[in-house]
Structure 1
Amino acid sequence: MTDVKFTHIGGPTVLIEVAGVRLLTDPTFDPPGRTYRFGWGTSSRKLTGPALAVADLPPLDAVLLTHDHHADNLDDAGRALLPSAGTVLTTASGARRLGGGAIGLRPGDTHELTVPGRPAITVTATPARHGPPLSRPISGDVIGFALTWPGQANGPLWITGDTVNHGSLRTAARALQPGTVLLHLGAVRFPQTGPLRYTMAAADALSLLDGLAPTTVLPVHYEGWQHFSEGHDTIADTLDGAPSALARPYTWLPLGSPHTVTV
C-alpha cells in the first residue's frame, strides 16, 4: 500500500505525490478574468484563480497533460512551467505541437517514469473523447492516464481526462479496474452547440463506474470556468441521490491543501 497526496490547485490541476515522485496534472495557473477561445466560435471565461502559485510548487518530476489545446487544461502560465517540469506526457499530436522533448502517447501506449531512488511508475494512456460522436476533428485529441507502481494495493490510479462517457472509455475502465479515480466532470457546454456536452455530467460518471469497485473517487474539473454546466452542488446532489448499488466513496478534495489517499 502507498499513501498518495493529492493537492487540488483548481480545475483539472492536481499535484500528486507518490513515494517521493511529484506529478502535476494539466497545469493551469493564469489569474481569473480572461476569456479564452476554444475554436469553432466557442469560448469561456476563467472565473477563479489557482489555489497555489507556480512559485509554491515543489520541483516536479513529470507533467501529465491530457491535452494541450484548451486553456482550461493548459494556460499560458502552465505552458511556461513545462520546460522545468521534468518529463511531459501528453497526446501524440500535442507532443508535436509542444516540442521540447514532450512525449506523445496514444491510447494503450505506456511510458515508465523513473526517478533516481524512487519506485518506477508505469503510465498507460487511456482513451478519451472530448465531445459527442464524430467531434474529434473539432475538439481534438485527449487522453487519460492510468498509473501503476510496485506495492499498489487497490488497483491503478486512473485520471480520466476531459471525456464524455463512451464505449471505448467503458471498455478501458473495466479492463483497468481502477482503485482510485481522478474524475473530470463539469458537463461542459457552449451556447453555440446547445445541449451537446464535452465532459461528463455526474449521471454519466455513475453509469461509467457502475460495475466497478474503486475505493476512492475524486471529482475535479467542475468549477472555476464559465463553460461548466454542473458545479459542486449539482454533482453532489446527483451522487448523493444515487441508488446504493451505485454508491461510491466520493471525496471532495480541498483546494490548496493536501489530502492523503491509500492506494
Structure 2
Amino acid sequence: MTDVTITHIGGPTALIEVGGWRILTDPTFDPPGKRYFFGWGTMSRKLVGPSVLAKDLGPIDAVLVSHHHHGDNLDPSAEALLPTWGTTYTTKKGAKKLGGNTVGLAAWETTTLEAPGKLSITITATPCRHGPVGSDPITGPVVGFSLRWEGQEHGELWVTGDTVLYGGLRDVAKRLKVGTMLLHLGSVRFRYLSGWFRYTMDATEGVELIDLIKPATVIPVHYEGWSHFQQGRGDAEDVLATAETAITWLDPGETTTVNA
C-alpha cells in the first residue's frame, strides 16, 4: 500500500505526490482578472488566483494536461513553464501543438513513468466528451488519466478530465478498478450561446458516475474560480453527499493523504 498526497491548488489544478513523483494536473497559474476565449463566441473570466504560486511549487516531474486549448485547463503562465516541469502528457493534438517533451495519448493508450528509485507508474488515457453529442469538432479532443502502480490496495488513481457523463465514462467502470477519483465538475454552460447544454458534469451526473465506479475516495476539482462554472461547491455539496462514497472536499491550498 502506498500513500498518495494530493493538494488542490485551485480550479482543475492539483499536485499529486506518490512514490517519489510530483505530478501536476491541468496547470493554471495566471492571476485573476484575465478573460479566456474558447472559440465560437465562448469566453470566461478568471475570478480567483492559484492558492500556490508556480515559483513556490518545487520540482515537477510530470504534467497531465487533459486538453491544451482551453485556458482554464492550461493557461499561458503554465504553458510557458512546461519545458521546466519534465514530461507533459496530453492529447495527440495537444502534443503536436505544445511540442518539446510532450507525449500525446488517445483514449485507452498507455505509457509509463519510470526513473531510478521511484515507483513505476502506468498512465492510461481515458475517454472524455467535453459537451453534448456532436460537440467534439467544436470543443476539441480531451482525455482523462488513470495512474496505476504496484501495490495499490483500492485501485487506480483517476483524473476524469473535463467531460459530461456518457458511454465512454461508463466504460471506465467496466475496464478499470478505481480507488481514488479526482472528479471534474462545474456544470460548465454558456447560456447565451448554447442554452442549457453542459460541457462538464454537474453534481447529479457526478453521483451517478461515483456510484458506477465505486471508488474509495472522491476529490472534486474544477468547480470554482472561473465565471463559466455554473455550479460551485455550495450547490454541489448536498447532491454529492447522496453518493455511495463519502466526498473529500479540499479548499484551494488544502492537502490530504490517501491510502491508495
TM-score range, shorter chain: over 0.9
Letter in 1 for 2:255: P
TM-score by length of 2: 0.97
- 1:103 counterpart residue number: 103
The offset of 1:58, in angstroms, is 1.6
Contact 2:179 / 2:216 at 8 angstroms: preserved in 1?
A: yes
Tell me how far 1:173 sits from its aligned partner: 2.6
Structure 1 partner of 2:233: 232
- Structure 1 counterpart SS, 2:212: coil
* Matches of 2:23 and 2:8, distance apart in 1: 12
Q: 1:14-163 alignment to 2 at 5 Å?
A: 14-163=14-163
In structure 2, what is the equivalent of residue 253 of structure 1?
Answer: 250
Runs of 4+ that moved beyond 4 A: none
Distance 1:88 1:32 in 2: 24
Q: After superposition, give the CA deviation of every residue in 1:2-45 in whole Å (9 maximum; x if it has no partner).
A: 11111111101001000110000011000001111000000000
After superposition, the C-alpha distances for 1:206-237 in whole angstroms (9 at most, x for unaligned) are 11222332110000000000001100011102
Matches within 5 A, 1:172-187: 172-187=172-187
CA distance in 2, matches of 1:60, 1:73: 17
Aligned residues: 259
Deviation sequence 1:95-146 (CA, Å, 0-9, x none):
0011113110000100100122101100000000000001000000000001
Contact in 2 for aligned 1:239/1:247 (Cα 8 Å)? no
Amino acid of the structure 2 residue aligned with 1:94 = G
TM-score w.r.t. structure 1 length?
A: 0.96
Percent identity, please. 56
The answer for unaligned runs of 5 or more in structure 2 is none
User: What letter matches 2:126 in structure 1?
Assistant: T
2:145 & 2:92 partners in 1: Cα distance?
Answer: 14
Letter aligned with residue 147 of structure 1: L
One-letter identity of the residue aligned with 2:253: G
Q: Deviations over 1:134-164 (max 9, x none)?
A: 1000000000001001111101000000000
The superposition leaves residues 167-192 of structure 1 with CA deviations (integer Å, 9 ceiling, x where unpaired) of 11111233212111000000000121
2:182 counterpart SS class:
strand
Work out the CA distance in 2 between the residues paired with 1:192 and 1:211.
32
3-state DSSP class of the match of 1:112? strand
Instruction: Describe the SS at the equivalent of 1:210.
Output: helix
| Match in the other structure for 1:2 | 2
Are the counterparts in 2 of residues 45 and 226 from structure 1 also a CA contact under 8 Å?
yes
Query: What residue ranges of structure 1 are gaps of 5+ in the alignment?
Result: none
